[in-house]
Every structure is written in C-alpha cells, then in structure tokens.
C-alpha cells in the first residue's frame, strides 16, 4: 500500500522562500505502515528543472550522513547513511517539473522521525514528520459457552499499542471484557479480547491504530446452529412458563364469570 500526501497548496502547507522560488511540502505528518512504501512530499515552485545543475539534500534529524543526496542528476552514495542504501530514491521522471519528493521503500519502525528537504542553491528547506506503525491481521476463534457463543479475537505485533472493539452487524459497539495486552518484545504488542454472543448475526472485531489512523477488521457470522441448544430451550421454556399461568387464570375466570352472569339473570 502506498501512502502519498497530496501537495496541492492547502492553508497549512510548509514553505521556505527565497526570491521567486519556494520549496513546499506539508505540515501534516506522513503516515506509513512498516513494510510499505512512504512518500515525503517536497517540490520546488514555480517548477524548475532539478535534473541537471542542482543539488537536493534529504537528511534526518540526529542521524549522521544523508538519507539521500542528489548532485547534478547523480546520487552520491558515499555520503549516504547505510540505513537508507537502496531504499531511498527520487522520482527521476518528475525532476524536470521540480518534484524532489523522497520515496522510502520497505519502511521500518526505525525510519520514524523528522526529515529535512534542502535545496542549497535556493537556501531553502522544509521539515516533515514521518510516523510509522506496525499492524497485523486479527484472528477470530469461537466456541460454545454458558449462555451463548464465546468469541476470542487475537492480533499479534502492533506498534504502538492499538485499540480493540467489537461491532454488531449494524455497527453498534458491543460491550466486551477488558482487552489483554502482551509485550513479547520492546517493539511489538499482542492484543486479545473476548466477547460472549447470545444472538445470531455478523460480529466484527476491530483493531485500530490511532498513531497512523489505520484500522483492520475481521468478521465472523454467528448462525442459529452455533447457539447452544440449551440457550434456545431456555427461551422456549421461559415463554412456556409465562403462558401456562395465564391459561390457568383464564380457565378459572370463565366459570366464575359464568356463575355471576347466571345469578344476575335469575335475579332479574
């Protein structure tokens, strides 16, 4: 999945200006999942050909050497930090239009931080924030329990710690027990939540990572046959238990009413 921040001129754009040229980017964080590709937007405007005779420097705060440096259309790999070797690049076909956005392949959690796009000839630079999260697919398991069906939702290796919730088929949030979080390593959270369902229908386990505004859902459909027999029997028994006293009351009332009706006719 590709995370791309559009660079149309919003009210919150980040610029550095000298003369009539300006380097523009975004003041909003760039969001990416670990393992995906991330684009850090940076453009020279009005557009100027950055393919020849120009220098573009991408660096990261508190990191020695460059993330990427382009000089006269050539990467200077000897000045590049090894962490970004073969992972950092520019869009060469768009350099003539002034696009000097940084493309990071196979994003890692360690890539998170503040980056700087600098054009020395303009003495112009901007800073952008990259946020990285680790996500995984939740797995649902189910089994019978007293009063219904027990659902367990488990999802391993999230970062930072995510939020878990259960949703009914109509989107209503279902009440569940507190989620359990495990930390098998310093860079990973495993989460688990349990829910008891007493009615058939579609149920969704949702894991949300606010850090990068990413949500992963897993759904399960509970059918009539999944509900234990004793649960439905209890419902039927309850209905029967209510109906029997009502019937008895009616049977007792009929002769009493008939007696008083008969007596009234006799008196008349």
Q: How do residues 138-195 score in pLDDT, each as one tens digit?
A: 999 988 887 789 999 999 999 999 999 999 999 999 988 778 888 766 678 999 999 9
When the pLDDT of each residue in the chain is averaged and rounded to a whole number, the result is 83
Which CATH superfamily includes the segment(s) 139-226? Immunoglobulins (2.60.40.10)
Residue-wise pLDDT tens digits, 27-57: 999 999 999 999 999 999 999 999 888 999 9
Structural domain spans, the chain: 2-133, 139-226
Is the fold of 2-133 the same as that of 139-226?
yes
Q: If DSSP states are collapsed to H, E and C, what string results for the chain?
A: CEECCCCCCCCCCCEEEECCEEEECCCCCEEEECCCEEEECCEEECCCCCCCCCEEEEEECCCCCECEEEECCEECHHHECHHHCCCEECCHHHHHHCECCEEECCCCHHHCEEEEEEEHHHCEEEEEEEEEEECCCCEEEEEEECCEEEEEEEEEEEECCCEEEEECCCCCEECCCCCEEEEEECCEEEEEEEEEECCCEEEEEEEEECCCCEEEEEEEEECHHHCCHHHHHHHHHHHHHHHHHHHHHHHHHHHHHHHHHHHHHHHC
Q: Is the pLDDT of residue 205 over 60?
A: yes
For position 143, what pLDDT does the model report? 85
Q: What is the CATH number of domain 2-133?
A: 2.60.40.10
pLDDT at position 27 is: 92
């Amino acid at each position: 999945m590709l995370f791309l921040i559009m660079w149309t001129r919003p009210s919150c754009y980040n610029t550095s200006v000298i003369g009539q040229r300006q380097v523009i980017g975004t003041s909003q964080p760039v969001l990416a999942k670990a393992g995906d590709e991330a684009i850090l937007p940076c453009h020279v405007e009005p557009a100027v050909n950055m393919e020849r005779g120009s220098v573009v420097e991408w660096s990261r705060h508190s990191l020695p050497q460059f993330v990427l440096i382009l000089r006269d259309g050539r990467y200077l790999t000897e000045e590049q930090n090894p962490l970004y070797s073969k992972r950092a690049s520019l869009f060469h076909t768009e350099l003539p239009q002034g696009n000097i956005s940084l493309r990071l392949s196979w994003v890692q959690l360690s890539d998170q931080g503040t980056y700087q796009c600098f054009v020395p000839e303009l003495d112009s630079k901007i800073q952008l924030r990259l946020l990285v999260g680790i996500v995984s697919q939740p797995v649902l398991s189910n089994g019978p329990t007293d009063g219904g069906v027990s659902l367990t939702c488990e999802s391993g290796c999230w970062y930072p710690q995510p939020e878990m919730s259960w949703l009914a088929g109509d989107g209503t949030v279902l009440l569940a027990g507190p989620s359990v979080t495990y930390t098998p390593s310093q860079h990973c959270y495993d989460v688990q939540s349990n829910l008891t369902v007493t009615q058939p229908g579609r149920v969704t386990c949702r894991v949300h990572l606010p850090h990068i505004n990413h949500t992963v859902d897993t759904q399960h459909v509970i059918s009539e046959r999944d509900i234990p027999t004793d649960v439905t029997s209890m419902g039927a028994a309850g209905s029967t238990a209510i109906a029997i006293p009502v019937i008895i009351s009616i049977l007792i009332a009929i002769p009493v009413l008939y007696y008083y009706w008969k007596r009234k006719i006799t008196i008349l």
